[in-house]
């Protein structure tokens, strides 16, 4: 008998994602001027206010208020009627120096032996049900909100959109875990006031179905497009009205959308948030490394689904464990043996992960909305301006953990060439 599985995503204008983006923008600015910065920045946003807190060890100094305001405006909160604007909100900072007790376990004389910034377990997951090796329901949810943001900025086909939005997709699967059809699409989007509530809801529902969804559908291959049939159940702004939104509607906090950030509830999550943390925090770097491993394994044809777990003790460089769980495996090798190959193929010490994935560069703002995984690796030039340190332009490589650069190595190791 078939079954249903659901994932959700939230837009860049969602309060929690505003907080994530501010935290990662602060991290990027610290790393741009001092690659050895140790950063753990938290952000809280609410009506007309931004609160920054956390711990930093760095040789640079930032105008954190300026960075926060620029990000808020970039997202689209620029009008006073939103009750939250980059030009007028208050920004309070309580950022202080990193604990020396933690730092002594991380920074070592031999940099290659730097310890993990905390204990914990991290997961990486990949599946071959989409071209980017991500769960389909989450992939569609992300793309719906990206296109909705594009439509908002174009301000042409749909002219009433505001920044806050959420999407949720339910997929029907066969018993052998193959997507059969899209069962339900939920979209809630913030919007301007309309003349009447009846006209408002009819207009929004019509535009989402006839403008947004066709644009999203066109982003996928033909086999995925065939899942968009005429029997989809739509819930579009199901409360009937969504004018009050963003931080005025709900407070936002860094790290509250960790399932949106990763795999939409498929696979597993160790519980640690990503945004605002430099790569010495293995909550972030080891999760990226585990995704890199899982994706390359699926791309190599080892299994249709791969879940990798890695764990650490604070201040210790080598992982306390590496384990693998495969589904529909295509090789006659146990998961324990595969885990041992991973251990010998991928150096999972924090310093090695930083070097392999180039994580000591200002690459994090781009991760803070629409998911950290399943993105396209690319090289861009980023520009930074500091009141205290001047201007700086850097060429950086984004989403290195999404590269399929170990496929041939894994194929050779498992005799798949």
- Indicate which residues carry an active-site annotation: 14, 16-17, 42, 55, 166, 242, 250-251, 256-257, 277, 281, 283
- Assess contact for 387 and 401: CB atoms under 8 A: no
- Give DSSP secondary structure letters for 277-289: B-TTSHHHHHHHH
Binding region: 14, 16, 42, 55, 98, 164-166, 241-242, 250, 256-257, 273, 277, 281
Q: Which token pair is 308? A: 């990798």
Q: Which token pair is 43? A: 């952000």
Binding region for K(+): 42
What is the Rg, in whole angstroms, of the alpha carbon atoms belonging to the chain? 22
- Assess contact for 261 and 125: CB atoms under 8 A: no
Q: At what angle do helices 282-299 and 350-357 cross, to 10 degrees?
A: 60
Place of tokens 């090695």: 352
| Other beta carbons within 10 Å of 382 | 17
Binding region for L-methionine: 55, 98, 250, 281
Place of tokens 């719906």: 144
Binding region for ATP: 14, 164-166, 241-242, 250, 256-257, 273, 277
Strand order of the β-sheet with 233-236 is 3-10, 161-173, 179-191, 233-236
Distance (Å, whole) CA 301 – CA 407: 9
Least Cα distance to 151 among 133, 165, 140 occurs for 165
Helix (H, G, I), strand (E, B) or coil at 175: coil
**DSSP class of residue 267?**
S
Distance (Å, whole) CA 315 – CA 113: 10
Binding region for Mg(2+): 16
């Amino acid at each position: 008998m078939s079954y249903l599985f659901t994932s959700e995503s939230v837009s860049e204008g969602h309060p929690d994602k505003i907080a994530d983006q501010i935290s990662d923008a602060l991290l990027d600015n610290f790393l741009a001027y001092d690659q050895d910065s140790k950063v753990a920045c938290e952000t809280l946003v609410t009506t007309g206010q931004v609160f920054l807190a956390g711990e930093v060890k760095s040789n640079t100094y930032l105008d954190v208020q300026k960075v926060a305001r620029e990000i808020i405006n970039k997202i689209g909160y620029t009008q006073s009627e939103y009750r939250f604007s980059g030009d007028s909100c208050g920004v309070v900072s309580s950022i202080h120096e990193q604990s020396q007790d933690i730092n002594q376990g991380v920074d070592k004389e031999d940099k290659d032996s730097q310890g993990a910034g905390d204990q914990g377990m991290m997961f990486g997951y990949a599946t071959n049900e989409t071209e980017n090796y991500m769960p389909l329901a989450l992939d569609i949810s992300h793309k719906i909100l990206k296109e909705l943001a594009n439509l908002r900025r174009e301000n042409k086909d749909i002219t009433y959109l505001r920044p806050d939005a959420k999407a949720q997709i339910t997929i029907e699967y066969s018993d052998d875990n193959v997507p059969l059809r899209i069962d339900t699409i939920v979209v809630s989007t913030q919007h301007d006031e309309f003349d009447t509530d009846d006209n408002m809801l009819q207009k929004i529902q019509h535009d989402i179905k006839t403008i947004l969804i066709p644009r999203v559908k066109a982003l996928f291959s033909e086999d995925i497009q065939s899942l968009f049939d005429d029997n989809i159940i739509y819930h579009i702004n199901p409360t009937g009205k969504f004018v009050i939104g963003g931080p005025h509607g709900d407070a936002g906090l860094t790290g509250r959308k960790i399932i949106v950030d990763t795999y939409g509830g498929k696979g597993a999550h160790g519980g640690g948030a990503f945004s605002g943390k430099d790569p010495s925090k293995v909550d972030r770097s080891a999760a990226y490394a585990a995704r890199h491993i899982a994706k390359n394994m699926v791309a190599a044809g080892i299994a249709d689904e791969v879940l990798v777990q890695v764990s650490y003790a604070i201040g210790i460089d080598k992982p306390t464990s590496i384990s693998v769980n495969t589904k529909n495996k295509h090789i006659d090798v146990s998961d324990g043996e595969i885990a041992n190959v991973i251990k010998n193929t991928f150096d999972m010490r924090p310093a090695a992960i930083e070097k392999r994935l180039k994580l000591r560069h200002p690459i994090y703002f781009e991760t803070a909305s629409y998911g950290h995984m399943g993105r396209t690796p690319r090289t861009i030039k980023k520009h930074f301006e500091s009141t205290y340190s001047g201007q700086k332009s850097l060429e950086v490589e984004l989403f290195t953990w999404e590269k399929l650069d170990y496929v041939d190595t894994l194929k050779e190791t498992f005799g798949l060439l």
